[in-house]
Amino acid sequence: MVSGPTADVAGVDGGPVHRALAAEITGVRDRRPGSPPRVLDVGGGSGAWAVPLARLGCAVTVVDNSPNALAALHRRAHDAGVHELVTPVQGDVDALAEVVPPGGADLVLGHGLLEVVDDAAAAVSALATATAAGGAVSVLVTARYAAVLARALGGRLAEARSLLVDPDGRLGPGDALRRRLDAGTLRGLLESSGALRVEVLQGDGVLDGWIPGSVRDGGPGVAREIAELEHLAAAAPPLLDVAARLHALARRA
């Protein structure tokens, strides 16, 4: 089992989200030496985040309303040799208090969650309630303005306009996402209840999606340069809103 703090967090090395989570796990170990970090992954599906976190030695509970996703999680955890550290629970964020204890997690993940729930503020409140004092909530959301730019550059101008003028950044009632967020809206959403304070607000896929394929084909050296550039861009405030996704880490009071 991998237990070092620099191990990959979601099977992908070097990304800003992965680095932030690895640093948080190291902090938990410093605060509670000898005990595995307790992670709650809400809407974690088949374990894209949960299994790598378990490989870091975390005890991970995954709450998801899909039995099929939880079955895939069980297989994935077993294949990775970490099934004893992963606990699947059927449920959703609307009734989170019914399936997990309040204040029971050092780190709570809500990745890809706030875009799809009916009530984003209620979901944030539920995530905060599940977090131990001094623990952290990590959210990863689809960014609004990157979606506008991508459609504009692709000539889909009506869609770009819809995303820009709609209050929730939606394409219309048939949009699979209930909302797309910008950096200011995400911070406000997380801090509105007073229970959470945002410590990290960064982009994920800031420049990556805008670099032409002809540049990417330049070999390993170019790949390293792109990764280094992405690392620098992730925390640059002017570039946050052109990131494909926004990541925030908020501390529980």
**What residue segments make up the domains of the chain, in order of their start?**
16-143+181-252, 144-177
Q: What is the pLDDT of residues 95-133, one digit of tens each?
A: 999 999 999 999 999 999 999 999 999 999 999 999 999
pLDDT value at residue 1? 32
Q: Provide the mean pLDDT of the chain.
A: 92
pLDDT value at residue 204? 94
pLDDT value at residue 220? 86
Question: In 3-state terms, the chain is what percent helix, strand and coil (to 5)?
Answer: 45, 20, 35
Q: What is the pLDDT of residues 187-239, one digit of tens each?
A: 999 999 899 999 999 999 999 888 888 898 888 889 889 989 998 999 898 89
CATH topology of domain 16-143+181-252: Rossmann fold (3.40.50)
pLDDT value at residue 28? 96
247 vs 4, more confident: 247
**Distance between CA 242 and CA 166 in Å, rounded?**
18
Helix axes 157-165, 144-153, angle to 10 degrees: 160
Could you tell me which residues are beta bridge partners of residue 201?
248
Rounded average pLDDT over 166-175: 96
pLDDT value at residue 15? 87
Antiparallel, parallel or unpaired: β 38-42 and 105-111? parallel
Asked if residue 30 has pLDDT above 60, the reply is yes
Quickly state the pLDDT bin for 5 (edges 50, 70, 90).
Answer: very low
Antiparallel, parallel or unpaired: β 59-64 and 105-111? unpaired
3-class DSSP state of 108: strand
